[in-house]
Amino acid sequence: MTVKFEGQDRREATLAKVLPEYGLKSLEEARELCLSKGIDVDAIVKGIQPIAFDNASWAYTLGCAIAIKKGITTAAEAAEAIGLGLQAFAVPGSVGDSRKVGIGHGNLAAMLLREETKCFCFLAGHESVAAAEGAIGIARNANK
């Protein structure tokens, strides 16, 4: 399988650094690792947001593979690792890159999943609904 996704050329340099950092040779290997653990990340992403771009599925796949590679066993830590995968897909120099939006998504989901969190609310304006959906999706699926 040859991986193709939106804006791939703008993300390849970052991915070339991140993949080996976690012992991964390719996004295909990340996908196979997830599937070997019974986690079909693409199905989860498309189940949460059917109109998601392919790069979203690959970003979440990478995050999930990072969590597996790190041997993470708690949902909150898995959410944080998923955020690392999302951040790897931020276009260098973009607002998402400079503000570490991917890491923020993972950390937001992690807050919801931590035992010490007693009350939590997602409040999203029209421009951040996708962010809230993503964080909710991470929170729902991080235990898997």
pLDDT tens sequence across 3-59: 888 889 999 999 999 999 999 999 999 999 999 999 999 999 999 888 888 999 999
Other Cβ atoms closer than 10 A to 99: 11
Q: How confident is the model at residue 62 (pLDDT cuts 50, 70, 90)?
A: very high
User: In angstroms, rounded to a whole number, what is the distance separating the alpha carbons of residues 56 and 29?
Assistant: 17
Is the pLDDT reported for residue 69 higher than 60? yes
Confidence label for 125 from pLDDT (cuts 50, 70 and 90): low
**Amino acid symbol at 105:** H
| DSSP letter string, 9-23 | HHHHHHHHHHHHHTT
